Amino acid sequence: MTTERDDIQHLAKFRREIRRFLQFSEQAAAATGLQPQQHQLLLQIAGAPNGTQVTIGYIAEVMVLRHHTVVELSKRCEAADLVRRTHDPDDRRCVVLELTAQGQRALHQLSDVHSQQLRELAPSLILALTQIRNSKP
Amino acid sequence: MTTERDDIQHLAKFRREIRRFLQFSEQAAAATGLQPQQHQLLLQIAGAPNGTQVTIGYIAEVMVLRHHTVVELSKRCEAADLVRRTHDPDDRRCVVLELTAQGQRALHQLSDVHSQQLRELAPSLILALTQIRNSKP
DNA sequence: ATAGATATATCGTAACACGATATTATTTCG
DNA sequence: CGAAATAATATCGTGTTACGATATATCTAT
């Protein structure tokens, strides 16, 4: 019972840390004039493993969203001149997503502050994870 | 430039891991008949540090929400018989939040699967964090 | 007792993700 | 080859949710 309570406190602490990070991230995105999800889209486009074709479907998978949600998100980003949408000439069903110059600028700016923030938060996140991992299975 | 690209890939990987965990969490909550935020409320009520008065304001702070959002969330949880809302007799402005028996059951059930899932995801999360932390400042 | 501070509550609104459904392009196979 | 099946993206309507603005209740200090 005592370990149960400890476990729950550890889980709660982990979620507080995550939430604080996400809140930071949302504010950083807003400060750059982006919606949080727009930032995530840019990040997943630019941060895909080398050689990946970045399509709607790929993004839907890695962001764990329905594809039509990604359609809408990518269109909002296109309208904001952050993302370019082109049809793959080899399979014209597929839409390939790339960053515009402005999208790259925004992402690099955001990535800098995120790296820095994560370097600060990493120790307590790792600690929380370690505590959870060491709880009785 | 190469390090920049690596950094972005590491950040993207970290976000993918986080997103996968959150997705798991949302589905687990849904399987128990809870909204994701309802689960978070239960967790932060039960997982507050020992001796904490769990009020609307406290939850607003740790969940990084406006207090009126917590009012609404806690009322939905009250309606679902997961949470009890009582006025602190010493300061009747404050609302104290506690779990009902049913809220405790749901939370324990969810905590079990979350602990297990986090034990699985912890290594790659820690790896991603470590890679970010080791990137050039 | 009253002004100001603190904590919670109410109301209207906008963003977002989803289900259901549709459209366009490619592949399969009879 | 051409129709049916499959795959990828697109459109539309909807419900939830968090928010800003504002209101109410309670406490504190003078």
Phi (first) and psi of residue B86, to 5 degrees: -130, 150
Number of domains in chain A: 1
In percent, the amount of chain A with pLDDT more than 90 equals 93
Q: Output the domain CATH number for residue A30.
A: 1.10.10.10
DSSP H stretches of helix in A32-62:
36-46, 56-62
What pLDDT shows up at residue B81? 95
CA/C1' separation A55–C25 (Å): 15
Residue B100's domain spans which residues? 4-134
> What phi, psi does B113 have (nearest 5°)?
-70, -30
DSSP run (H or E) holding A23: helix A2-31
pLDDT tens over chain B, length 137 residues: 445 889 999 999 999 999 999 999 999 999 999 999 999 999 999 999 999 999 999 999 999 999 999 999 999 999 999 999 999 999 999 999 999 999 999 999 999 999 999 999 999 999 999 999 988 77
Strands (E), A3-135: 83-87, 95-99
The SS3 assignment for A55 reads strand
Question: Would the CB atoms of B16 and A118 count as touching at under 8 Å?
Answer: no
- Report CB contact under 8 Å: B115, A130: no
Determine the Cα–Cα distance for residues A3 and A29; give it in Å rounded to an integer: 39
Q: Mind listing the pLDDT tens digit for each residue in A123-136? A: 999 999 999 998 87
Residue A92 Cβ < 7 Å to strand D = no
A74-131: pLDDT as tens digits: 999 999 999 999 999 999 999 999 999 999 999 999 999 999 999 999 999 999 999 9
Mean pLDDT calculated for residue range A25-52: 94
Cα–Cα distance for residue pair B26/B32, rounded to 1 Å: 10
